Structure 1
Amino acid sequence: MTAVASSDGDPVVATLRSAGVGEVAPGSSLAALTTLRVGGPARALVTAEREADLTAVADVCRDHDLPWLIVGRGSNLLIADAGWPGIAITLGRGFRGVDIDGDQARLGAAEPLPTVAVRLADAGLGGAAWAVGVPGTVGGAVRMNAGAHGGEVSDHLVEVDLVRLRTGTRETWPVEACGLTYRHSDLPDDAVVVSAEWRLAPADRDTVREQIREIRDWRREHQPLNRPNCGSVFANPPGDSAGRLIEDVGAKGLRVGGAEVSTKHANFIVTSSGATAADVAGLIATVQDRVESTHGIRLRAEVVVVGAVGAAP
């Protein structure tokens, strides 16, 4: 991995700025863009506001042989302490929006899922109250087929609009082509979700609003919302609960450095001041080893690891 440059004299930064790709921040820390609040800087962070920004960044990455990284709300990212040697891209307000037409909604990729849940409820559309409990964006949710409380993206998705960074082309994929399974999609690694179309069912507004209130209350009671975390760390194995397995092996409260298995919910890892990505990765691996040793099940981490963090989940 090459060193991360932070100087405004970086020719990559100069090229990005001359291309007019939106806001460009050299050597920007990515920790603040993740809900774990750990990780190092990117060579440059670009806030894209339009699809042309994405294709321009793709050109710079190809010309300079640099990797790219798409960062939504960072709720499932673990970024290495050494940072990211290429260009990190976050989608700005130009990629937000909730446009509702009958039982269908066109959603911008940067739109937060909790906002989507409320907007759909206000429009009298049901089935997506679960989204209020997922601290991510539409784009990230499509990529990992996010879900909670018995619902997931694949229940609603009709099609998704993509920008391909390797070619700079725009594509529309029907849901059947996306390969959505439990917390997984077959979207290529260079595909940036820019919008998605969902179909929902008409529902009583007050009923859906009450579902949203109940989910919010449940989260406050059962999840460590007052501490940095990345949501559920592990996918549930078939027929079982990752949280139950972790608690069964006595790992609640287990610590590695500044990372700790939450005492409130065993499938959450929380961080404290001074925590590192290596701490989190080490704790993930330790929990996996304990569960596998006792139950013969290797828990699959939902967290996406970016860079070399020292202890791979």
Structure 2
Amino acid sequence: MAAPARRSRGLAGRPATPRRPLPDARRRGPDLGARRGDRAPRSRWRHRPRARGGGKLTAAVRDRLADLGRRLAASELAPSLRRDYRLGAHTTYRVGGPARLFVTINDRAGLDTLASIVADSSAAGGPLPVLVVGRGSNLLVADRGFDGLAVALGSGLATFEIDGTTVTAGGGALLPVLARASADAGLTGFEWAVGVPGTAGGAVRMNAGGHGSDMSESLVEAVVVDLHRGGSAALGVEELHLGYRTSSIATHQIVVSIKLQLRFGDRSAARASLAEIVQWRRANQPGGRNAGSVFTNPEPAAAGALIESAGAKGLRIGTAEVSPKHANFIQSDEEGCAADIVEVMREVRRLVTEQHGVDLAVETHLIGFEPWELP
């Protein structure tokens, strides 16, 4: 669906549209997609998210992907290899086209095999496009799909262990599971994660957070495998460069495991905190087909408040809509498409820029889009 026509600005003889005052985030309830103001981005430059896996493949890359597929099919990973596999089922938006190659890894040995094969292919002709898929709770894949290798971690890399105040978990471990298990063990400091529908590995890459905390508060180290170069490394929290929804983890790197350092606390209080967080999210944030907060929070206001103040709450384009419950969420219909979601993002950014002079930065990872298709 074509984007709505944009209104001209700055025409001669026509006064500029007055901007509405910025909403004061301090007058609102907690925005669970927000991070503390002291970590918010300060730049006023226009944000333009990168497209990953978009564009037509060159014949050389197409041939190398075909060769990679043959190598994977001849390896121990063959049973989990899929071709032209639809990625929508692995995202919370439930939309998106297929990955040219898709493989599920269930143990460290399989991951080492994958890294060796991909690294050899990359060394022969340059890095191949790789996408690591967790729960897909912060991911939007283009309707045309992803021309590359998509990798998912299976149940064998989703286990965890609690020893005293130390929690060690596989990259595929679910955050809500870790939050509840640590609370049951009488630990505190990770309760916020009960409301984040992602994996431990994805949480490190995005420095996921909520309720005034994030991964950087308790993370000690993460073991990372590099698919382009092969090999692995244990990176301390300083080496991960965790910022507001960012880290140094690249798209071709997989977080195999993490180590958290928590604190002993009151088990009943921790469980009560979990219940409060879950209740707040159910009351204030929509369920269904969405990927959580779409835009990062600019300083000093919350993105949701800016969007609502700009009149975009409930905005619908095709099969996508700004949630009437929380303006920083975009909902997709059951038969939705990624193109409509991107169009809603684009229109929301335009309205907020026009009304408030604030350029919202997209938090969602956009995969497979052409540069000119980005919001």
The TM-score bracket by the shorter chain reads over 0.9
Which of 112, 115, 121 is 1:63 aligned to?
121
Partner SS for 2:373: coil
Q: Distance in 2 between matches of 1:282 and 1:55?
A: 39
Partner SS for 2:238: helix
1:241 equivalenced with 2:302 (yes/no): yes
- Report the equivalent of 1:171: 233
Which of 73, 81, 88 is 1:17 aligned to?
73
- Report the equivalent of 2:96: 39
Residue segments in structure 2 that go unaligned for 5+ positions in a row: 1-55, 59-65
Once the two structures are TM-superposed, the CA of residue 97 in structure 1 deviates from its matched residue by: 1.5
Q: Distance in 2 between matches of 1:240 and 1:184?
A: 20
Q: Distance in 2 between matches of 1:188 and 1:63?
A: 18
Greater C-alpha radius of gyration: 2
Aligned length, in residue pairs: 306
Spell out the pairing of 1:53-202 with structure 2 (5 A cutoff): 53-61=110-118, 62-63=120-121, 66-202=128-264
After superposition, give the CA deviation of every residue in 1:51-85 in whole Å (9 maximum; x if it has no partner). Answer: 33334334444527631110000001110111111
- Report the equivalent of 1:6: none
Which of 106, 109, 128 is 1:52 aligned to?
109
Partner SS for 1:173: strand
Q: Name the amino acid aligned to 1:158.
A: V
Q: Distance in 2 between matches of 1:87 and 1:51?
A: 18
1:269 equivalenced with 2:330 (yes/no): yes
Q: Distance in 1 between matches of 2:136 and 2:351?
A: 27
Once the two structures are TM-superposed, the CA of residue 220 in structure 1 deviates from its matched residue by: 1.0
After superposition, give the CA deviation of every residue in 1:100-139 in whole Å (9 maximum; x if it has no partner). Answer: 1111111111011000100100111001111011110000
Q: Name the amino acid aligned to 2:304.
A: G
- Report the equivalent of 2:342: 281
Q: Distance in 1 between matches of 2:96 and 2:195?
A: 24
Tell me if the contact between 1:103 and 1:125 (Cα under 8 Å) persists in the aligned partners: yes
Q: Distance in 2 between matches of 1:60 and 1:200?
A: 37
Q: Distance in 2 between matches of 1:43 and 1:60?
A: 16
Q: Distance in 1 between matches of 2:286 and 2:250?
A: 33
Q: Name the amino acid aligned to 2:236.
A: P
- Report the equivalent of 1:256: 317
Q: Distance in 2 between matches of 1:261 and 1:59?
A: 43
Once the two structures are TM-superposed, the CA of residue 219 in structure 1 deviates from its matched residue by: 1.0
Residue identity (%): 44
1:295 equivalenced with 2:353 (yes/no): no
- Report the equivalent of 1:2: 57
Q: Distance in 2 between matches of 1:188 and 1:219?
A: 30
Q: Name the amino acid aligned to 1:88.
A: A
Once the two structures are TM-superposed, the CA of residue 15 in structure 1 deviates from its matched residue by: 2.5
After superposition, give the CA deviation of every residue in 1:182-210 in whole Å (9 maximum; x if it has no partner). Answer: 11112233221000101011111111101
Partner SS for 1:70: strand
CA RMSD of aligned residues (A): 1.6
Once the two structures are TM-superposed, the CA of residue 17 in structure 1 deviates from its matched residue by: 2.5
Once the two structures are TM-superposed, the CA of residue 96 in structure 1 deviates from its matched residue by: 1.1
Tell me if the contact between 2:132 and 2:252 (Cα under 8 Å) persists in the aligned partners: no
TM-score for both structures, normalised by structure 1: 0.93
Q: Name the amino acid aligned to 1:143.
A: R
Q: Distance in 1 between matches of 2:364 and 2:258?
A: 23
Q: Distance in 2 between matches of 1:301 and 1:16?
A: 34
- Report the equivalent of 1:209: 271
Partner SS for 2:331: strand
Q: Name the amino acid aligned to 1:25.
A: R
Q: Distance in 2 between matches of 1:86 and 1:74?
A: 17
Q: Distance in 2 between matches of 1:53 and 1:257?
A: 42
